[in-house]
Amino acid sequence: MTDINFKAEVEARKDALLADLFSLLSINSERDDAKATPETPFGPGPVAALEQFLAIASRDGYATKNVDNYAGHFTYGDDLPEDAEVLGIFAHMDVVPAGTGWESEPYVPEIRDGKIFARGASDDKGPTMACYYGLKILKELNVPLTKKIRFIAGTDEESGWGDMDYYFKHVGLPDPDFGFSPDAEFPIINGEKGNITEYLHFSGENKGAIHLKQFSGGLRENMVPESATALVSGNIANLNAQLETFVAAHADKNLRFEFENMSDGTATITLHGRSAHGASPHTGVNGATYLAKFLDQAGVESPFTKIAGTILLEDHAGEKLGVAFEDAKMGALTMNAGVFNFDDSQVDNTIALNFRYPQGTDSDAIYAVLTGLSGVASVTKSAHEHTPHYVPMTDPLVSTLLSVYEKQTGLKGHEQIIGGGTFGRLLKRGVAFGAMFPGDIDTMHQANEFIPVDVLLRAAAIYAEAIYELAK
């Protein structure tokens, strides 16, 4: 069976793969807590996408299981002995909010210049379907395997991973023995930093020539805020001109703004930067911290804007914050100031800081520093935390996947450790594998997210051979 031309097999299924992928990309599967019910735990969108994925699997002859709309799976190799090892493949159907700045409708997928544009195209519906078709090839060719494959799709990977917590408690099956997630990049991700969000709490008090009434920015803790909006009062007569000067002074950031004088003597300011994945905050422009910097300079006197606009601004490694740390293997800590909420009528206002930290430090060490910040009333942690994860190069899972990658690409494989968190870390012997290739443009969590069609097809061929080599 080693003489299978996996690339040719993928090409023969190209149209079907794209059609199935488009059916998933057409579903807005953003988490929506306002519409959450016992039947739709993260809102109706993630459930609709999960149901569509399982319908595709059912159509292709798999027996599927939906675990109360939190996650679902199908298994290949049910005819194998009960004690056969299980290879787990972990994907997710939820997406981060589309946000603004799109040149096309985010949930009307389209191909332009050989690229598929849609929210979820690269994270994670595109890679999921590439991997699904890799397994589909083995099934349709009736390739004999000695290990079972359980393909699991979640619905809350982009938020709190409540889907997997529930799935493992209620699925009624042992955990897979080893596995991977098609939700990152090649050649492999065999290490992931720890991940924790910590919240700075502020009172609503502020003073100065300009009074801050409200401030909001950011859609998710793991996204760089593309924009932020503030409602202010007081000495606002020259604010519009000051904004023009501020934006001009930061021309390298390509900031944009909208300013509106209201009839009640207040003004609304919206400042736009550029979104990016929270694991690589340096690739974005944080609209919220830049707006806070402007307000701080313009006359607002508040710990909220002082910290956001001076300490958090461009502090991607946590140096000004005082939490910077670097490990020889896992690299440096990164910090993303992701969500900002302020209302002067409220006693509790927050800034959510998402940290990706290497081995050698931890969330308690970060917490101890944050509690010492002047003007911060208190600090709390998110309920969900991931500690650093690593699978050594000597593990057969890692060496096999790298061997397949090298064979199909002609490129040398090597280990990678990232700040992003994937479902690969759900298993002790779990990694992330593709679908981005070295040199590809990363548009995850950004406007105009895309995946090139040729990347999708190349990845599908690699997944097909990888599953075969792991389970043969």
The residues annotated as belonging to the active site are: 94, 157
Does residue 153 contact residue 71 with C-beta atoms inside 8 Å? Answer: yes
Cα 344 from Cα 326, distance rounded (Å):
38
Does residue 182 contact residue 459 with C-beta atoms inside 8 Å? Answer: yes
User: Of 101, 121, 107, which Cα lies nearest the Cα of 224?
Assistant: 101
Amino acid at 203: S
The Cα-based distances of 270 to 12, 123, 291, 344, 378 in angstroms read: 49, 28, 8, 18, 28
Which runs of E-coded beta strand occur in 344-400? 349-357, 378-381, 389-390
Cα 463 to the center of its chain, rounded Å: 21
User: Among positive and negative, which fits the CA dihedral 278, 282, 283, 286?
Assistant: positive
Give the length of the chain: 472
Termini Cα distance of the chain: 10
Does residue 84 contact residue 147 with C-beta atoms inside 8 Å? Answer: yes
Does residue 308 contact residue 297 with C-beta atoms inside 8 Å? Answer: no
CA Rg, the chain, in Å? 23
- In sequence order, the β-bridge partners of residue 349 are 202
User: Of 72, 123, 116, 73, which Cα lies nearest the Cα of 96?
Assistant: 123
Which runs of E-coded beta strand occur in 218-323? 227-234, 256-261, 266-272, 300-301
- Read out DSSP for 393-417? TTSHHHHHHHHHHHHHH-PPP---E
Name the strand (E) or helix (H) holding 419: none
Task: Give Cβ neighbours of residue 403 (< 8 Å, ≥ 6 apart).
Answer: 413, 469
What is the dihedral angle through the alpha carbons of 168, 472, 389, 156, rounded to the nearest 10 degrees?
-40
Cα 1 from Cα 144, distance rounded (Å):
9
User: Of 395, 433, 393, which Cα lies nearest the Cα of 414?
Assistant: 393
Tokens linked to 413: 């494989």
User: Of 427, 324, 307, 442, which Cα lies nearest the Cα of 376?
Assistant: 307
